[in-house]
A and B are shown apart, each in its own frame.
Chain A
Amino acid sequence: MNPKDLKYAKSHEWVRVDGDTCVVGLTRFAVDQLTDITYIELPKVGERVTGGEGMGEVESVKAVSDIYAPLDGEIAAVNDALSMDASLVSRDPYGEGWLVRIRPAKDGRLDHLMSAEEYTRQTEGA
């Protein structure tokens, strides 16, 4: 169920390399754990983010959780549709529910991220 062409962070974000930027979203597993999502706070375009550190928050009827940047870089775009309808993330986490595009830092690396197979194994154990 986790698309094979994506990379995955331990903290349940996915990354798709698309030209010179990376699209980032939340995984289906994360979305299921959060239950109904009410609000998403994302960084602003131009903001610098650091891999492994919080870059935003997602609020569900259950709790507020941090969204972590999966890599170092600068925010190139933000999915504005989410401010109107955060439930897009629940409905289509790998498509219309994407969160941000990050322009990776010069020495930005992706090799710490997991494959779909490795990530699925991690979440099955959880």
Chain B
Amino acid sequence: MMERNQSADLLFEISKPGRRCHRVPPSGLPAVGLDSRFLSGGSPPLPEVAELDLVRHYTNLSARNMAIDSNFYPLGSCTMKYNPKRHERLVSLPGLASPHPLQPDKTVQGMLAILFEMQEMLAEIAGLHACSLQPSAGAQGELAALLVAAAYFRHRGENRTRVLVPDSAHGTNPASAAIAGFDSVTVKSGDDGLVDLADLESKLDERTAVFMITNPNTLGLFDHQILDITRKVHEKGGLVYLDGANMNAILGIARPGDFGADMMHYNVHKTFTGPHGAGGPGSGPIAVRDMLEPFLPSPMVIRDEKGGYCLQQDRPLSIGRVRAFFGNVGVLLRGWMYLRTLGPNGLREVSEQAVLNANYLLTLLRDHIDVPKGAGCMHEFVASAKILRREKRVSAMDIAKRLLDKGYHSPTVYFPLVVAEALMIEPTETESQETLERFAEVFVSILREDPETLHEAPHDLAISRPDEVAATKQPVLRWKSA
């Protein structure tokens, strides 16, 4: 195998005084003296490198990445799906790439038309009435929606202080509730992995502002009690929030608004193929029922009386801006292209294929590793290495690390918290039958390996197991010159 480990040293380490990528010729203009108060003592300690060394540095670093374009990436809970390359070409068209957010509305009618249509399409897929495209990621969408809920109850003169969250929820749910000023209350899951109705009922009362539910949930199960759940929450005057992280399983098949959700967010960067990873860029639009529409962030794109489009700034009940300008428009554009390419029937096929792929992989794996709720699944399923850990001292982490050696990105591990030694696997709709079969073969072969080999994995990567405690406790955030 080719030694890929060269030239990934820090730029500071390969720096040599006087080296440059470019030498700027003298401008010929007279120098202007700056007041000495504004001058620093000397040059900043920036690395000095030649262009080729710079290019190699970044190219070699990029080759260490595992990406959806190079490797199967079955990351449950954070849908990592293929990003069609056509979108990249289209978003770089001048009409889409060059508008400035401060241009007058009448000079960006095409862009506003796309954003308006995106609002409408997302509201329709949600089965809800209105949509704000502003939030720049799922968690910010959650926070914005909870602020909308708080504004709604304040407007009605109701004092509701609690947000209920199932124990299988994404950690962002209780965090968003806390940041929005609510007390977060945990609702237990039953043995079937679904919401424990009795526990929900015991915690529902007139203090409940919102019940947040992920459906399908993080175990990859559709909570069939959903109509019962949303009715119970509504009877107590609360709102139902749907965490849309798992929309990939139900697009065009079930609409959250139809099963009782009053608010939801999308992850355009997941479900609708915005390329993402390493923290961004995301896009987390929120859709809401009609009575919540006045409270949505400002501005919204609306049609004016002449049939054109404009930004509606005058929204007196709005919670205000949650993001500069109009959110992550680049991601929204890719999402719009995806929806436009597929259409309603194509979108439905996405979910059908995603669910079929996950179930096929489940049947290939469940005889080899415990899958606690493994009778069937939606778009993802959660295996457990609990028995392996007890019998062979092999943990979910060991399996995940060994997969890297074999050229597969690890699934999400140790989440959801309700499953011990969890491995959460989501293949997505675009993987072929052969890829799934090959992955299953490799996965099963890892389970048969000597535990020692697994404890020390990954063996073939530039970095094996980083010291996560040291990385948390003593992070090295700045390079210091010797």
On A, residues with C-beta under 8 Å from B are 33, 35-39, 61-63, 87, 126
Asked if B153 is an interface residue, CB under 8 A from chain A, the answer is no
Complex Cα–Cα for A33 and B395 (A): 10
Taking a contact as CB atoms under 8 Å apart, the answer to whether B469 and A33 are in contact is: no
- What are the residues of chain A within 8 A of B171 when measuring CB–CB? 63
CA distance A7 to B473 in the complex (A): 32
Residues of chain B in range 338-363 having any CB-CB distance to chain A below 8 Å: none
CB-CB < 8 A to A33: which residues of B? 420
Is A61 a contact of B420 with CB atoms below 8 Å?
Answer: no
Cβ of B28 to closest chain A Cβ, rounded Å: 58
- Assess whether B414 is in contact with A62, with CB atoms less than 8 Å apart: yes
Nearest A residue (CB) for B186: A66
Whether A38 pairs with B469 at a CB distance below 8 angstroms is yes
Q: How far is the CA of A115 from the CA of B447 in the complex (A)?
A: 36
Residue of A nearest to B421 (CB): A33
User: What per-residue 1/0 map shows which CB atoms of B388-424 lie under 8 Å from chain A?
Assistant: 0000000001000000000000000011010010000
Query: Is B434 positioned at the interface, with any CB of A under 8 Å from its CB?
Result: no
Chain A residue nearest in CB terms to B466? A61
- B420 contacts A38, C-beta separation under 8 Å: no
A36 touches B420 (CB 8 A): no
CB < 8 Å neighbour of A87 from B414, B417, B469: B469
Asked whether A36 lies within 8 Å of B417 as measured between CB atoms, the reply is: no
Give the residues in chain B near A63, CB-CB below 8 Å.
171, 414-415, 417
In the bound assembly, the distance between CA atoms of A73 and B415 in angstroms comes to 34
CA–CA, A61 to B415, complex, Å? 12
Interface size class of B (residues with CB under 8 A): 10 to 19
Verify A61–B417 contact, CB threshold 8 A: no
Contacts of B473 in A (CB 8 A): 38-39
| Chain A nearest Cβ from B66, distance in angstroms | 20
Which chain B residues numbered 455 to 479 have a C-beta less than 8 Å away from chain A?
468-469, 472-473
**In the bound complex, how far is the Cα of B473 from the Cα of A37, in angstroms?**
10
Q: Give which listed residue, A35, A38, A126, contacts B472 with CB less than 8 A.
A: A38
3 closest pairs, A vs B, by CB?
Answer: A61-B468, A38-B472, A62-B414
Q: Which residues of A contact B469 (CB under 8 A)?
A: 36-38, 61, 87
Chain B residues within an 8 Å CB radius of A62: 414
Q: How far is the CA of A36 from the CA of B471 in the complex (A)?
A: 12
Given contacts A33-B420, A61-B468, A126-B420, 6 further A-B contacts (CB under 8 A): A37-B469, A38-B468, A38-B472, A39-B473, A61-B472, A63-B415
Shortest CB-to-CB span from A124 to chain B, Å, is 9
| Contacting pair A36 B414 (CB below 8 A) | no
**Bound complex: CA A63 to CA B420 (Å):** 12
- Expressed in whole angstroms, the Cα–Cα distance for A63 and B415 within the complex equals 9
Chain B proximity of A7: nearest CB distance (Å): 24
Q: Which residues of B contact A37 (CB under 8 A)?
A: 469
Q: Kindly provide the distance from the CB of A53 to the nearest chain B CB, expressed in whole angstroms.
A: 13
Bound CA span A61–B420, Å: 15
Nearest-CB distance from A50 to chain B (Å)?
16
Question: How many whole Å from A60's CB to the nearest CB in chain B?
Answer: 9
Q: Find the B residue at minimum CB distance from A61.
A: B468
- What does the 1/0 interface line of B168-195 toward A look like (CB < 8 Å)? 0001000000000000000000000000
Expressed in whole angstroms, the minimum distance between the Cβ of B382 and any Cβ of chain A is 15
Report B-chain residues with C-beta under 8 Å of the C-beta of A39: 472-473
Most buried by A among B468, B469, B472, B473: B469
Q: How far is the CB of A126 from chain B (nearest CB, A)?
A: 7
A126 to B414, CA, bound (A): 15
Q: Which residues of the partner chain A approach B415 to less than 8 Å between Cβ atoms?
A: 63
Q: How far is the CA of A35 from the CA of B422 in the complex (A)?
A: 14
Q: What's the nearest-Cβ distance from chain A to residue B401, in Å? A: 13
Kindly provide the distance from the CB of A89 to the nearest chain B CB, expressed in whole angstroms: 12
A38 CA to B467 CA, complexed, in Å: 11
A126 to B387, CA, bound (A): 10
A62 to B422, alpha carbons, bound, how many Å? 11
| A36 → B minimal CB distance (Å) | 5
- Min CB distance B324 to A, Å, is 31
Q: In the bound complex, what is the Cα–Cα distance between A44 and B420 (angstroms)?
A: 31
Tell me the complex Cα distance, A33–B386, Å.
10
Distance between A6 CB and nearest chain B CB, rounded to angstroms = 23
Q: Shortest distance in angstroms between B22's beta carbon and chain A's nearest beta carbon? A: 43
A residues in contact with B417, CB < 8 Å: 63
Query: Roughly how many angstroms separate A116 CA and B414 CA in the complex, as a whole number?
Result: 27
**How many Å lie between the Cα of A38 and that of B470 in the bound state?**
8
A-B contact pairs, 6 of them (CB 8 A): A35-B397, A37-B469, A38-B472, A61-B468, A63-B415, A126-B420
Minimum CB distance partner of B390 in chain A = A124
Q: How far is the CA of A38 from the CA of B472 in the complex (A)?
A: 7
A9 to chain B minimum Cβ distance, whole angstroms, is 18
**Which chain B residues lie closer than 8 Å to A87 at the CB level?**
469
Residues from chain B with Cβ under 8 Å of A36 in the complex: 468-469
Residue of B nearest to A87 (CB): B469
Give chain A residues whose Cβ lies under 8 Å from the Cβ of B420. Answer: 33, 126
Nearest B-chain residue to A32, judged by Cβ? B389
Interface residues of B in 119-176 (CB under 8 A from A): 171
CB proximity of B128 to chain A, nearest CB, Å: 32
Q: Write the nearest CB–CB distance from B454 to chain A, whole angstroms.
A: 15
Q: How far is the CA of A112 from the CA of B180 in the complex (A)?
A: 37
What is the chain A residue whose CB lies nearest that of B473? A38
**Bound Cα distance from A87 to B472, whole angstroms:** 13
Q: How far is the CB of B77 from chain A (nearest CB, A)?
A: 14
